[in-house]
A and B are shown apart, each in its own frame.
Chain A
Amino acid sequence: MVESKFLPLDGATAVSQAMRQINPDVVAAYPITPQTAVVQNFSQYVADGIVNTEFIPVESEHAAMSACVGSSAAGARVMTATAANGLALMWEMLYIAAGMRLPIVLTVVNRALSSPLNIHCDHSDAMGARDSGWIQIYAETGQEAYDNTLQAMRIAEHPDILTPVMSCQDGFITGHGVERVGILPDEVVKQFVGEYKPRYALLNTDEPVTFGAWDFTDYYFEHKRQQSEVINSALPIIEDVFSEYTKLSGRPQPVLDTWEMDDAEYCIVVLSSTGGTSRAVARGLRAQGVKVGIVKPRLYRPFPAKYIVEAIKGCKAVAVLDRAISFGAPAGQGPLFTDITAALYNEGITGLNIVDYIFGLGGRDILPDQITSVFTDLQQIANEGQRGAMVRYLGLRE
């Protein structure tokens, strides 16, 4: 294990520190709140000659991902960052980057999608991109955002994966929140990420290759099947990278962060910063003798279905907290709930009491009392044997 140096950093700056240490060949980016700190810090590193990166200050997020696609296909190591509407504007290019198997790392500082316009945190941006073929990792803290950025680079560029990775953290809550973040020594990071050796590169003009051919009815289906196979078989490789980084940093990097789940009767499954709030509340309830636990997936794509089912299947009642709505889904449930219930069904578990809470849209605060009320609800559901409403809301005025 290598000692980290601890600095007071906000989550966005923690990511730009990771980018500085990775020293990518190309960063193409466009400003958008609350991601802007990532690229403006990085621009300063470029201006000061601290990194060797070619920074492309593009005119839109679509152009950002377009330039990233060009640079990555050229054979360069490539990173970018965005949020919300910026991610939405990239949409077309997200699928293209994934389909071309380009190992781009994209930081998403999660923010609500318009309309109405709102700059604060929810997960509607990245959740909408969950089927775009990108690997997705969600961070609870600035520390995790830093750690995940480094691991994302290794995962994306692994020769058996070669798939872009979206590394997400909560806008403002961790993106602008200053905390104590451990930074590994530059040399250690350099060694950990290693050197990117592309299999094919446009700039290898002696061996010309065609990227992005016209794929007709006779091949497209097979290519999509291969892409699906890659992301779905990536989990063991991702776990290898996580465990290597765990040993290196001394900070555990589980696929699924579980707290007190061995004997938990009631649990909350939630992504990102709300994992911390939930754990704080759960600690208090445990002290009162209530057997509660917390499950926080770090990895969302590929979806760690078996781990989640294994963790929650013994509970008397489970609450999923979704920071996004899947509009038009049954009862307006969220995407995390959809994936978890599908996973339970696939494992033959149909009798579990599980409910969904939509919370925190547009940056609405999630308070400890609300988490407590979820656990109270779960106990009531278990005691009465009645699930009641499948989809509920936390912190909503009705």
Chain B
Amino acid sequence: MTDRIRINLKDIVNNEERLAPGHRLCGGCGEPTIMRMILHAIEGPVVISTATGCLEVSTTVYPTTAWQVPWIHSAFENSATTISGVEAAYKALKRSGKIPADKEIKFLAVGGDGASYDIGFQWISGALERGHKLVYVCLNNEAYMNTGIQRSGATPKGANTTTSPVGDVIPGKTQWRKPFTRIMAAHDIPYVAQAAPHNYRDLMTKVKKAFAADGPAVLNILAPCPRGWRTESDQTMVLTKLAADTCYWPLYEVDHGKTVVNYKPREKKPVADWLKVQGRFRHLFRPAYASILEEIQARIDQEWERLLKEEAAG
């Protein structure tokens, strides 16, 4: 994993698009941009399984499909397991000679944060433990957006969602988000990383590293949702850059147990900069909720310091 990976824009623009235009995802949605980055970073044939969610319903409205690669959706919670079945079939059919010995196929499972942090958590954990050669990608827009913006285990503290609404006595989600990336890394698999699409070189490098890993790999990628975040559709890249600059969403990787922080903002911005541009956090700026803002800042600082210490520990 020490070889330097080059991401060349000229190569990318000449690559064939494997997620065709014409799908029905919203303008400004982070998901199709990220998926195209992922597909451009994958060399050779790939089979994809996708959990139930926005990406799935918007790209495969029968009788059309936007996927130019073999693709399967079976249910909400099991995209990791479904692709583990495909990968096992690949091994078996290669062994029996039905697939040529020199034919290499890559296996990718995709799920939203609901599919990853919540309903599919066990399925992902099982697939990682079994050591299938697959990459699991969480397209993380921090709530159940496909069903209409309900809170998930990935929804940050304070966010206004339809099942953690801001009310007269409760100020949005009261719990902190689940440390999914850390839990994935705790499986001691070869490669786990967090990424965001504004830094496409970092994201695509991580995709290449994940597929080159000698076992399962997981990528947790922040994917803005203009509908759920209450943001303008032209702010997608600005938003994830702010998430990285405030250290709300550190870009880092755990490569064979070694933590590397891939981006350290020269000047760490206050987390309020990230919160104030999104309608889902608007209520936090009422004077009554000042303590929540302070608490969020303190927690972000603490997590960032912990991450730097983990990197220093090697």
A positions within 8 Å CB-CB of B: 25-26, 28, 52-54, 56-60, 62-63, 66-76, 78, 92-93, 96, 100, 202-205, 208-216, 219
Interface string of B71-107 (1 = CB under 8 A from A): 1111101100111111011111101101100000100
Q: Within the assembled complex, what's the spacing in Å between the Cα atoms of A172 and B57?
A: 44
Q: Contacts A205-B45, A205-B69 given: A212-B88 contact, CB under 8 Å?
A: no
Given that A56-B88, A63-B126, A208-B68 are known contacts, is A69 also in contact with B93, CB under 8 Å in the complex? no
Residues of B within 8 A of A208 (CB): 67-71
Contacts of B91 in A (CB 8 A): 54
Tell whether, in the assembled complex, residue B89 and residue A69 are in contact, meaning their CB atoms are under 8 Å apart.
no
Contact B93 A25 (CB under 8 A): yes
A205 near B86 (CB under 8 angstroms)?
A: no
Which one of A68, A69, A70 has the greatest number of beta carbons of chain B within 10 Å? A70
- How far apart are the CA atoms of A56 and B91 in the complex, in Å? 11
Q: Chain B residues near A75: list those with CB within 8 A.
A: 89, 93, 98
Q: With contacts A75-B93, A213-B60, A214-B56 known, is A204 near B85, CB below 8 A?
A: no
Check if B62 sits within 8 Å of A215, measured CB to CB: yes
A93 engages B61 (CB within 8 Å)? no
Task: Provide 11 A-B residue pairs closer than 8 Å at the C-beta atoms, listed in order of the A residue.
Answer: A52-B92, A54-B91, A59-B126, A62-B78, A72-B89, A73-B86, A76-B93, A203-B70, A203-B99, A204-B70, A210-B67
Q: Flag if A211 contacts B126 (CB, 8 Å).
A: no
11 A-B pairs besides A73-B74, A211-B74, A212-B73 with CB distance below 8 A are A25-B89, A63-B126, A74-B47, A74-B85, A74-B93, A202-B72, A205-B105, A210-B72, A213-B63, A216-B62, A219-B62
**B213 → chain A, closest Cβ, in Å?**
20
Residues of A within 8 A of B130 (CB): 56-58
B233 in the interface, Cβ–Cβ < 8 Å? Answer: no
Q: Which residue of B72, B123, B126 is within 8 Å of A73 (Cβ)? A: B72
Measured CB to CB, the closest approach of chain B to A31, in angstroms, equals: 14
Q: Which residues of B contact A93 (CB under 8 A)?
A: 74-75, 78
Chain B residue, CB-CB nearest to A68: B85
Query: Is B126 a contact partner of A70 (Cβ separation < 8 A)?
Result: no
Residues of B within 8 A of A59 (CB): 122-123, 125-126, 129
Could you tell me if A66 and B93 are in contact, using CB atoms closer than 8 angstroms?
no
Select from chain A the residue with minimum beta-carbon distance to B24. Answer: A214
Please name all residues of chain B whose beta carbon is closer than 8 Å to the beta carbon of A56 when the two chains form the complex: 84-85, 88, 130
Q: Which residues on B are within 8 Å of A, measured CB to CB?
A: 45-47, 49, 56-57, 60-63, 65, 67-75, 77-78, 81-86, 88-93, 95-96, 98-99, 105, 122-123, 125-126, 129-130
CA distance A67 to B79 in the complex (A): 9
Closest to A197 in B: B98
Task: Decide if B89 touches A26 in the complex (CB within 8 Å).
Answer: yes
| Nearest-Cβ distance from residue B119 to partner chain A, whole angstroms | 11
Residue of B nearest to A207 (CB): B70
Q: Contact at B92–A26, with CB atoms within 8 Å?
A: yes
CB-CB nearest in chain B for A69: B74
Question: For B93, what are the chain A residues with a Cβ–Cβ distance below 8 Å?
Answer: 25, 74-76, 203
A135 to B237 alpha-carbon distance, docked (Å): 51
Q: Could you tell me if A28 and B88 are in contact, using CB atoms closer than 8 angstroms?
A: yes
Asked whether, in the complex, the Cβ of B70 is within 8 Å of the Cβ of A71, the reply is no
CB distance A70 to B92 under 8 Å? Answer: no
B92 CB → nearest A CB, Å: 4
Chain B residues with CB below 8 A from A54, complex form: 88-89, 91-92, 95
Contact A66 B82 (CB under 8 A): yes
- Which residues of the other chain, B, contact A92 by a CB distance below 8 angstroms? 75
CA distance A203 to B62 in the complex (A): 21
**Bound complex: CA of A60 vs CA of B123, how far in Å?**
8
Residues in chain A near residue B77, CB distance under 8 A: 62
Knowing A54-B92, A96-B74, A214-B62 are in contact, say whether A203-B105 is a contact too (CB < 8 A): yes
A203→B72 contact, CB < 8 A: no
A359 CA / B67 CA spacing, docked (Å): 52
A45 to chain B, nearest CB (A): 14
User: Is the beta-carbon distance between A66 and B74 smaller than 8 angstroms?
Assistant: yes
Closest to A24 in B: B92
Residue of B82, B90, B92, B129 near A69 (CB, 8 A) is B82
Complex Cα distance A54/B122, Å?
A: 21
Q: 6 closest pairs, A vs B, by CB?
A: A70-B85, A59-B126, A74-B89, A67-B85, A76-B89, A205-B45
A372 to chain B, nearest CB (A): 49
Check if A74 sits within 8 Å of B62, measured CB to CB.
no
Which of A26, A60, A74, A215 is within 8 Å of B126, CB to CB? A60
Q: Please name all residues of chain B whose beta carbon is closer than 8 Å to the beta carbon of A214 when the two chains form the complex.
A: 56-57, 60-62, 73
Residues of A contacting B74 with CB < 8 Å? Answer: 66, 69-70, 73, 93, 96, 100, 211-212
Q: Is the beta-carbon distance between A63 and B61 smaller than 8 angstroms? A: no
What residues of A have a CB within 8 angstroms of the CB of B46 in the complex?
A: 205
- Chain A nearest CB, measured from B76 CB (Å): 9
> Which of A52, A66, A96, A212 is close to B85, meaning CB atoms less than 8 Å apart?
A66
Q: How far is the CA of A54 from the CA of B95 in the complex (A)?
A: 10
Most buried by A among B46, B67, B89: B89
Complex alpha-carbon distance, A100 and B49, angstroms = 14
Measured CB to CB, the closest approach of chain A to B4, in angstroms, equals 29
Q: Whole-angstrom distance from the CB of B114 to the nearest CB of chain A?
A: 16
Contacts of A78 in B (CB 8 A): 85, 89
Residues of A within 8 A of B67 (CB): 208, 210
Q: How far is the CB of B8 from the nearest CB of chain A, in Å? A: 24
- Quick check: B86 and A213 within 8 Å, CB to CB? no
- Known contacts A75-B93, A204-B70; decide if A70 and B61 are in contact (CB<8 Å): no
